[in-house]
Chain A
Amino acid sequence: MDLIDFSQIRSLQDLDLLEKELDSKEVECDLRIKDLLSNRGDLEFQLRSLSKKLSNLKPVEAESQHFAEVIKSTALLAEDVSAKVRLLDKAKNRVSECQQRVNDLLDLQQCSEGVATAMQNEDYEQAAAHVHRFLTMDETLLKHTARDVSEGRTMDASFHRLHDAENQLKKVVAEKFDEAVKDDDLASVERFFKIFPLLNMHDDGLRRFTNYLSSKLKDSSTKNLNEARLTRETDKRANVIFADTLTLLFEGIARIVEIHQPLIETYYGPGKMLSVMEYFQKECDAQSKLIIEEFRKHRDFNKKVQIVSAYLNQRSENKIDAKEVDSVLNELTLLNARTELYARFVRRRVTSDLDISVTDEGEKATKLKNVDRLLKDGETFRVMQILLGQYILLEQYFMAQSVQKAVELDNLIEASSDDTFVVTSVTDDVFFIVKKCIKRSLVSQSVDGVCAVINNACGILESDFADLLLNQLRQGFPSGYLDLAQAYSVLQSSLQHGKIQGSDIEKNRTQFVAYLNNTDVSMEYIASLKNSLDKSITDAFGNNLSPYEKDKITNCLSGLSSVNIRLKSVSEFGFSQLKSSAVKPRVKPWLDAFFHSQRTSYEMEEDEFQDDSESMQTLISNLDAFFKSFKVCLSPTTHGTFVSMAVTEIALQMEKVLLKVKFNRIGGLQYDKELRTLMGYLTSSTTWSVRDKFARLTQIAILLTLEKVSEVADFWGKGPVAWRLTAQEVRQVLAMRTDFRQEDIRRLKL
């Protein structure tokens, strides 16, 4: 408690305050003391029970000390025991090693005795089993042991005998194997083939065995090739006989692998297929080379290639008949297809064998690379790569020659019904040829081959074929009095009578229209060609295409869209020709007549207003006849484009003539009425939007029908009209109204 500083007390008030404070403190103290005292009983009770519990703790301490000692001694014991167990274990191992060695020694004895008997009895399996047992023993260790037990001499003798037996057996088995091969005794061949691995002669066994099988392959292939040589030309397979022979070779290898793979896996273990296929590949290379050489000779192939390549390089004018090339092309694709199939077979076999036998990823990768090399650089495949290159060359020649022939034989195909239209035969023919060639390339199963043929096809379409269309269209559409429909019917009838009487103009017109249609049809054909090829590619390759290869083909196919771009520009060129020679010369006089001769003036009285103006009737019937004459001969798309082009031209020409005419309001209303009639007609005859093409003319009509100049303000800059006329042009149009005052027009704020 703080001491009271009496010096601070100066007055009675202070003293009172202090007293009050002290009083309250006293009360507080009393309360605390009471509180503490009330806890006393509780505390004392707790203290008592605590002292009782303390006395109980003593024995616990003693017991835990005892317990710790027990644990310590147990641990010591355990260590002791485990050391002994370890020793025991070691001892046991030694014992079993000892037993093993005793067993080995006993077996050695037995083997060395058994091997002699087995050899004598020509029981080579038994002998090999003995030697195999012996080969699993650790020779130096055994010798060591034998010395310890002073058994050295007998054992050395056994070893000696067994080594001798091993060598002898190796020699005998090899000899016997060769003998069996010589006698063509398959059972014995297989018998001794199984013995090689017992003598640790895996590689030797495989080599000898595949050699034997290869010789069988050689025999049958030689036989097949001889038969192929003698095949009569009338034989159904004569055209593809060498592809058949090659197929037999590959099938022969596949069959041998099919039959012997289980045998090899059982006796030699998995993981041997790479070596086996490498051995077979040597024979395969030799035989396929012979077959291809014979193919080249028999089909006069090298000469064909030489002529074709000289021709394509423009080094010579010599040609061969495309038909002659056609059949050899089929055989070429088959040859390549079989080789691809065989390569896939080899890859699949070896890869699945490696999958189960090699776990190390690095080793597997190396081995897979060897497979790649085998299938890339093997003579069979190299020979085939050369052949594929020559196939592409010949296919290119075939395609070009056939296209050229199609061009030479090009003739007009008249419309045979209302849904058809005049074209020439060249389009169908060219697309047929291109499709045929690309589809044939698919047979080859070679992605590079397919890509190259697609590239070459695109080249022919984009340059040769498109040039042909362009050149024909460049001849132009001759203008003249006769309507096209007339010209066409004249030509038709003259063709029917077997003589061409029609004038050159008529003929040229039909020709032009036919080529315009050709161009349109070609663009459709490009699209359907692409679709059909997409499907054919999927059908031809199935699941054998990697995403990469698929991508590669797709990228080559996209060359077709550049063909389309080119065709489109050809078509545009054709339309520009048509516009300048057919549309412009026609439309212009009609419009001139409409605005000038038939109607003297658009400054008219009310009673002159015609709901159905005669001059517009004439114009429309002229146009209608004009459009119809083209409708019968143009393809629907071409006709659509034609009408659209004509409509644009009409609008353009009309505006030109219109701007030279004078109007009053009635005249304006008359023009407005006529314009609506014209647009109504045009809308009915085309699928394109006429409104847009006539926007300027419609806006001119709005201006020409105004009552007062000031009304322009209601339309200009507000309302729904998006003006296509400039302010300058608005003034110009308003000035065409003879009833508007120039000052009013000038005063307009636009």
Chain B
Amino acid sequence: MEDYRFLFKVVLVGNAGVGKTCLVRRFTQGLFPPGQGATIGVDFMIKTVDINGEKVKLQIWDTAGQERFRSITQSYYRSAHALILVYDVSSQPSFDCLPDWLREIEEYANAKVLRVLVGNKTDREDREIPTYVGEDFAQRNNMYFMETSAKEADNVEKLFMEIAHALIEQAKAREPVPEYKGNPGQSVTLNHRTPSTTSDSCCSRLL
């Protein structure tokens, strides 16, 4: 059995071509594969990170943006601990679709899921969405916000590390059990629909 303290599922969603796969590749392999073909179905990667001396295993599900894969993608929302909704700062249409994505998230994801809005491709010179517009959208919808560039490796590491950080805080707050029994699969119970716990807000900023 691998040695880790927490296991978190992170799911990336957003329009096709906004750079979800590149973000994941950059984070997990340190690569920026140019001419990346469209993702078919769902890809998944695992990366174990160290947060303040605690081993955290991130299970990252990189979903296809195209409509025809929607029912595959939707099946991953429910068990996600964090959802990263990605748009392309140089593409107004990808930003305009965000409300649709949010509706999906509301419908399928757990109410307590950590929601992060990411504006990718800040390296592009033809930016169409100013930072404050993204920031504003995130704030209105109780989401964390960050702008990244998978190409320049800007904020990518930070994005995932901050998510891991926030998820640990969340897990500890919800489940203050010091007697960890050494069964990694059970250490995280974020995901349970316990009707009694009220949903907590996570509107504070990462940055």
Contacts and interface: CB of A to CB of B under 8 A. Distances in A.
B186 A463 contact: no
Contact of A565 (B44, B76, B78, B192): B192
A446 B59 CA distance: 21
Q: Determine which residue in B68, B76, B189 has the highest number of CB atoms from chain A within 10 A of its CB, and name it.
A: B68
B140 interface: no
A572 B76 CA distance: 28
Nearest to A369: B37
A396 to B, nearest CB: 8
A741 B111 CA distance: 64
A452 B72 contact: yes
Interface SS majority for chain B: mixed
Interface string A453-470: 101101100110001000
Contact of B189 (A389, A446, A555, A565): A565
A455 B40 contact: no
Given A376-B40, A392-B71, A392-B72, A566 B186 contact: no
B57 to A, nearest CB: 11
A555 B80 CA distance: 13
B78 A455 contact: yes
A241 interface: no
Q: Determine which residue in A382, A389, A455, A462 has the highest number of CB atoms from chain B within 10 A of its CB, and name it.
A: A389
Interface in A360-419: 372-373, 376, 382, 385-386, 388-390, 392-393, 396
Contacts of A559: 79
A458 B69 CA distance: 20
A462 B190 CA distance: 13
Given A372-B37, A376-B37, A565 B68 contact: no
Contacts of B71: 389-390, 392-393, 396, 452
A565 B187 CA distance: 10
B79 to A, nearest CB: 6
Contacts of A376: 37-38, 40
A100 interface: no
Interface string B43-68: 01000000000000001000000001
Contacts of A685: none
Nearest to A309: B71
A127 B194 CA distance: 85
Interface residues of B, number: 24
Contact of B193 (A451, A463, A551): A463
Contacts of A546: none
A396 B72 CA distance: 11
Contacts of A552: 42, 44
Contacts of B124: none
B79 A458 contact: yes
B186 A555 contact: no
B92 to A, nearest CB: 26
A555 B72 contact: no
B59 A555 contact: yes
A313 B103 CA distance: 11
A393 B107 CA distance: 15
Contact of A451 (B37, B42, B68, B186): B42
Given A455-B79, A456-B75, A566 B40 contact: no
Contact of B42 (A390, A448, A561): A448
A442 to B, nearest CB: 16
Contacts of A555: 44, 59
Interface string A461-488: 0110001000000000000000000000
A569 interface: yes
A562 interface: yes
A558 interface: yes
B127 interface: no
Interface string A552-577: 10010011011001100100000000
A693 B2 CA distance: 35
B79 A566 contact: no
B174 interface: no
B193 A455 contact: no
B72 A562 contact: no
Interface in B143-199: 185-186, 189, 191-194
Nearest to A569: B192
B41 A448 contact: yes
A561 B183 CA distance: 11
B191 to A, nearest CB: 6
B205 interface: no
A451 B40 contact: no
Contacts of A462: 193
A373 B37 CA distance: 8
A286 to B, nearest CB: 19
B186 A561 contact: yes
A458 B80 CA distance: 13
B3 to A, nearest CB: 17
B37 to A, nearest CB: 7
A449 interface: yes
Contact of B75 (A373, A392, A467): A392
Interface string A132-153: 0000000000000000000000
Interface string A70-101: 00000000000000000000000000000000
B70 A385 contact: no
Interface of A: 313, 372-373, 376, 382, 385-386, 388-390, 392-393, 396, 446-449, 451-453, 455-456, 458-459, 462-463, 467, 551-552, 555, 558-559, 561-562, 565-566, 569
6 contacts: A452-B72, A455-B75, A459-B79, A463-B193, A562-B185, A562-B191
Given A389-B68, A561-B186, 6 more contacts: A392-B71, A451-B42, A455-B78, A455-B79, A555-B44, A558-B185
